[in-house]
Amino acid sequence: MGLIPNESYDYWRISDGMVRKTTTEDDPLAIKRTIKKDGKPDKVMFEQVNKGLRGVIESVEARDGQFGRQLYIAITDGIERFYLQVAWDSSYSRSFLERLPGIDLSKDVDIIPYSFTDKKNKKRSGITLNQDGVKIPSYFREYNEDFTSSTHSYGYPEGGDDMETDDWKILGIQQMKFLKSKVVDAFPFFEFEGATEGATEGVNPKVDDKPKDDLPF
């Protein structure tokens, strides 16, 4: 007798630079977290918390729902299946989608979020993708010879020094619209004007020529 397996996914999300899954108080892996909101009662949650997820990226989708647009990343690791749910309008989604075309979709990839405050008291958050021991850089950035500056490539919307707060907000919307069209809607076929051979297979042949991010991990 042949059995049809139940295609259930384990749902995870990103918060405070970690991947989290809501669970119950009696879960031996549960960690209690209290969320404080001004003028509202404290919210107590029980979660499983991990540094990141590892597996083969099976699909990437943008879905609109009650809490706005969300990015859903389906990941498989053997018989284990996960969905990583990420707020669309966030630096986590943006950094992930910028790097996604640079990975080999047939291999495991480490998906590791981060969030920290730098020396200039600026909060930095995003997602690091590691594959075969190499940190994958943004596919849409080109560096000069000594890596002191960079510009965006493949038509990725880019800002200027004279931009104001509202201009940056508009730019962010334009960038996410670009990433939806070129990455999410095209998954798993990455086809960019002028892309080098191999890019349409989800492999970035220029990875070794690019510098590493200045992140501590």
pLDDT tens string for the chain (217 positions)?
565 555 567 899 999 999 999 999 999 999 999 888 777 888 899 999 999 999 999 999 999 988 899 999 999 988 888 899 999 999 999 999 999 999 999 999 999 999 999 888 888 999 999 999 999 999 998 877 776 777 888 899 988 778 888 998 999 999 999 999 999 999 986 666 655 444 444 444 444 444 445 443 3
pLDDT of residue 195: 52
Torsion of CA 202, 107, 80, 130, to 10 degrees: -90
Contacts of the segment 150-159: beta carbons below 8 A, 24+ positions apart: 154/182, 154/192, 154/193, 154/194, 154/195, 155/192, 155/193
Distance CA 122, CA 99 (A): 22
pLDDT of residue 5: 54
Asked whether the beta carbons of 173 and 84 are under 8 A apart, the reply is no
Distances in Å between the Cα of 217 and the Cα atoms of 48, 95, 111, 132, 133 are 22, 15, 12, 15, 12
Q: Please tell me the number of Cα atoms within 13 Å of 149 on its side-chain side.
A: 1
pLDDT of residue 8: 63
pLDDT of residue 122: 87
pLDDT of residue 43: 87
